[in-house]
Amino acid sequence: MLSILIFLGVSVFFWGAYAVYGRFLASRVFQADANRVTPSREVNDGVDYVPTRTPVLFGHHFTSIAGTGPIVGPAIAMFWGWLPALLWIALGAVFIGAVHDYGSLMVSLRSRGQTIGEAAGRMVNPRMRLLFLIILFFTLTVVIAMFALVIATIFSLYPQSVLSVWGAMPLAVLTGWWIYRKQNLLIPTLVSLALLYALVALGVWLPVDLGKWFGIPLLAGQEAGFIGGFAAVVPVWSILLLIYCFCASVLPVWLLLQPRDYINSNQLYVALAALIAGILVLRPDMVAPALHTAVQDAPPIAPFLFITIACGAISGFHCLVSSGTTSKQICSESAARTVAYGGMLLEGVLALLVLVVCGAGVGIGILTADGTLTGSSAWQHLYGGSWKSMQLAQVLTAFIEGGGNLLAGIGIPRAIAANVLAVMVACFAATTIDTATRLHRYIIQELGMTLRVLPLTNKYTATVVSVCAAALLAFWPGPKGVGSGAMILWPLFGATNQLLAGLALIVIAFFLRRYNRPVVYVMVPLLIMLVLPGWALVLQIREFWTTGNMLLLGVGGLILLLQIWMALEALIFWRSAKGIPPEEPGAVISARIRKPEASGGVC
């Protein structure tokens, strides 16, 4: 019964926050203007700047910001018990994450669709822009490399998910063409969703296991799995995924990226509804402890809880989506609250569901080598070990098996239920990697303009640089063999990602100060997101020094120095920015080719 109270209580809190606090921010703080011409209407090149109806854009935005973050983060954080994670998700999403996402979108809308890094040059000073763009380049390189390996590993662990994930790509192209030609949402939505779930069922019977099909062996001296070793099939899938990312980056956003995210969002709505129904029907007990502080060798809750749960509460990656793709597609500033503030709260609901699934759903029963475990024994089997022995496969098992129990409780066959969740995780990761590649391309183009390297302003050249940099990092030889190079950077990613949110909040604060708007609603989240992630990064750097890990020490130290430099730049220019509007944004990087299907009556 406690699981139901937790879910319903926080969900009602989110709804009230959207209706009251979100409306207040839109009308009084950021002063959204429904009559103002948005970048999508002003530029409307049919490739990146495309006026898009709010339901479709919400799906694109939500799946892009979500990815696997609100699934993996809360699932890992359960090591500390469900109560700390619950408080951070509830309070962080409303007062920090949603403010960050909405503010980033509004700054970009008032900057002709510039990314938050490019806008930093106008809101603070030109040096801030260059520093921000450099940090964004390295951050997105890690994101693309990481998620290429994550999805490839899911394909290796769950070959029944492959057909559905790859089948969603041509399905997205068909759906995008259908929507923009026929201007209809209902029929293509129902058809695409039915076909996707048909692929989910078909995938159970036709798993795509490249290792067995083509006899691909394991790499010498390694075992199949994640972190513990990399099957040779993982690099193969990673290369194929990076090729897909190149295509998704350069194709018109309405043709592949946008409808793919829309299909995935509808898939998620169905999965969320089914999981909620399972909770209400089964009423599982919370078998996880409220506090679990006796974890062997685990880092302290503060500050590491706040970088472990990122996307479910706040994530720096969201500012890139809000300012990178969403601002170029939104039709009206009045829709920004729904898309950005509402999208963050829905992601909080997803993180909340993961919390219940991993804290209560696993207690229904999991199959192990020693038989079926239930209750607290099942939870201890997954979370009772040491922190350093934790693996992503273990975390994914907690969510997929626990969620499968809930879906099976409402009559969905167990094999289908598990594959529905595996496909959801893989599709979400895919929406992150393709959006991140497009964002990476924007950053490289903006760096090309800033540094006057003209070839980098070309979208094809910039995308080649993006995928090659990610491939180099993904396949850099690490301590666990080829393909583990990006994995050894994972400890830094959480802290860097959250510090990125703090830097974006600096730009948002300058935007408000320049227009004489109240900044207190941004300053408190800003200080939290500079202090806590910075604290975590310092502790990690100290550990890297102790263990002699020079690579992580060098990367972590460089990122920390750049971010301290940015904070000092902001502090120096803070007083002089009051009441002085920024200069008008310059020309945008655009194909300048209007497409009839992308300009007529879409909104």
pLDDT digits (tens, 9 = 90+) for 100-132: 999 999 999 999 998 898 888 889 888 888 888
Residue 33 φ then ψ, to 5° = -120, 110
SS3 218: strand
Pairing of strands 366-368, 371-373: antiparallel
Cis geometry, peptide bond prior to residue 259 (ω within 30 degrees of 0)? no
Distance CA 151, CA 144 (A): 11
Q: How many angstroms separate the CA atoms of 317 and 319, rounded?
A: 5
Angle 257-282/54-66 helices, nearest 10 degrees?
A: 70
Domains of the chain by start residue, with CATH: 2-599 (1.20.1740.10)
**Of the ranges 238-247, 331-340, 530-539, 564-573, the best mean pLDDT one:** 331-340
For 409-426, write each residue's pLDDT tens digit: 999 888 788 888 888 887
pLDDT, tens only, 385-406: 777 776 666 777 788 889 989 9
Identity at 366, one-letter amino acid code: I
Residue with tokens 């990314």: 115
pLDDT exceeds cutoff 70 at 485: no
What single string gives the DSSP state of each residue in 510-535? HHHHHTT---HHHHHHHHHHHHHHHH
For 217: left if phi > 0, alpha if psi spans -120 to 50, otherwise beta; the answer is: beta
What band does 229 get if pLDDT is binned at 50, 70 and 90? very low
- At residue 554, the pLDDT reads 82
